């Protein structure tokens, strides 16, 4: 579903992605962990073309990433993204936040988009908030709306970049539970998170990144109990 082949990216002199090779199969849940600055966000942003890459290839469901235009908009719809900061449209209602993409990008009829949005808001447990503005919701609720908004585009893969790190502790689980549910339903997911509980519960594979490289990959069980590299051991020692 997602394929990166020899992907390289520089920010000036900084080689932020170093020859990244990664294959994510349909329905697979991959958790990406690693120290701050290791290139995790850049990797996510490259996958949905918020960042360009210098060389290599990124394929989504077998299609090469187009550079721009309509084809890129279509591909972006295939790749849903949820960020650390919820990024909802502040002056639009929760319902409008979710219907906007399907109407504007997919040309969906208002009534159909509304029906879809309400079913997704129901699914993430915030249907009763649909007429409110984002600021009237808690952080956990807003992040669940952000997930519903991404799902409204019927993506083939969902990227999550530290989706719970801006949340108060008591709201983290409501968002993680929504993500676990999504994983169970068979969504292909790439999740940058340091939430080991989520990784153990939902991940098929953990990827450990450091200094722009994939240093290690293993099942969560294997990775957390028996990390191979010193970098991973050192990192786990700090966060566990
Ligand atoms: P992570 O998400 O693992 O913390 P990032 O992908 O955000 O890491 O960043 C990797 C490195 O690239 C960091 O050193 C960061 O400062 C740098 N970086 C990220 N975005 C930019 C940018 N737009 N311009 C220059 N440097 C950047
Ligand atoms: Mg990051």
pLDDT of residue 234: 94
Q: What is the pLDDT along the chain (240 residues), one digit of tens a residue?
A: 999 999 999 999 999 999 999 999 999 999 999 999 999 999 999 998 889 999 999 999 998 877 777 777 777 789 999 999 888 999 999 999 999 999 998 899 999 999 999 999 999 999 999 999 999 999 999 999 999 999 999 999 999 999 999 999 989 999 999 999 999 999 999 999 999 999 999 999 999 999 999 999 999 999 999 999 999 999 999 887
Neighbours of ion ligand 2 (CB under 5 A): 40-41
Residue-level pLDDT at 68: 72
SS3 readout for 166-231: CCCHHHHHHHHHHHHHHHHCCCEEEEECCCHHHHHHHCCEEEEEECCEEEEEECHHHHHHCCCCHH
Is the CB of residue 212 below 6 angstroms from any atom belonging to ligand 1? no
39 lines ligand 1 (CB under 6 A): yes
Q: Report the alpha-carbon distance of residue 28 to residue 223 in Å, rounded.
A: 17
Query: 38: Cβ below 6 Å to ligand 1?
Result: yes
Closest residue CA from atom 21 of ligand 1: 11
What pLDDT does 146 receive?
A: 97
Ligand 1 touching residue 44 (CB < 6 A): no
Quote the Cα angle for 209-210-213, to 5°: 70
Atom of ligand 1 nearest to the CA of 12: 25
Determine the distance separating the centroid of ligand 2 and the alpha carbon of 109, expressed in angstroms.
Answer: 36
* Contact of 126 with 137, CB cutoff 8 Å: yes
How far apart, in whole angstroms, are the C-alpha atoms of residue 150 and residue 47? 15
DSSP-based three-state secondary structure for 21: strand
Structure tokens at 35: 């120290």
Does the beta carbon of 193 sit less than 6 angstroms from any atom of ligand 1?
no
Answer whether 129 contacts ligand 1 (Cβ < 6 A): no
37 lines ligand 1 (CB under 6 A): yes
pTM for this model (two decimals): 0.95
pLDDT value at position 77? 84
Residue minimizing CA distance to atom 6 of ligand 1: 39
* CA distances to 53, 116, 157, 187, 190 from 154, in Å: 25, 10, 9, 10, 16
- Residue identifier of the C-alpha nearest atom 11 of ligand 1: 37
Atom of ligand 1 nearest to the CA of 39: 6
Q: Is the CB of 14 under 6 A from ligand 1?
A: yes
Q: Which residues contact 47 (CB under 8 A, 6 or more apart)?
A: 2, 4, 58, 60, 79, 157, 159, 190
């Amino acid at each position: 579903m997602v394929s990166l082949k020899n992907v390289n990216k520089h920010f000036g002199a900084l080689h932020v992605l170093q020859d990244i090779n990664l294959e994510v199969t349909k329905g697979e849940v991959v958790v990406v962990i690693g120290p701050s600055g290791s290139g995790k966000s850049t990797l996510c942003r490259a996958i949905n073309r918020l960042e360009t890459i210098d060389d290599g290839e990124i394929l989504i469901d077998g299609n090469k990433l187009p550079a721009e235009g309509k084809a890129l908009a279509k591909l972006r719809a295939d790749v849903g993204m949820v960020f650390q900061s919820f990024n909802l449209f502040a002056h639009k209602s929760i319902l409008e936040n979710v219907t906007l993409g399907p109407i504007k990008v997919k040309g969906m009829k208002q009534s159909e988009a509304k029906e879809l949005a309400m079913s997704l808001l129901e699914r993430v447990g915030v249907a009763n908030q649909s007429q409110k503005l984002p600021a009237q919701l808690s952080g956990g609720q807003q992040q669940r709306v952000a997930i519903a908004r991404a799902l409204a585009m019927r993506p083939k893969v969902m990227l999550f970049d530290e989706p719970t790190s801006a949340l108060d502790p008591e709201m983290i689980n409501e968002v993680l539970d929504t993500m676990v549910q999504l994983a169970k339903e068979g969504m292909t997911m790439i999740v940058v998170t340091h939430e080991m509980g989520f990784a153990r519960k939902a991940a098929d594979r953990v990827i450990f990144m450091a200094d722009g490289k994939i240093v290690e990959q293993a099942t969560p069980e294997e990775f957390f109990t028996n990390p191979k590299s010193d970098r991973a051991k050192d990192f786990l020692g700090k966060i566990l």
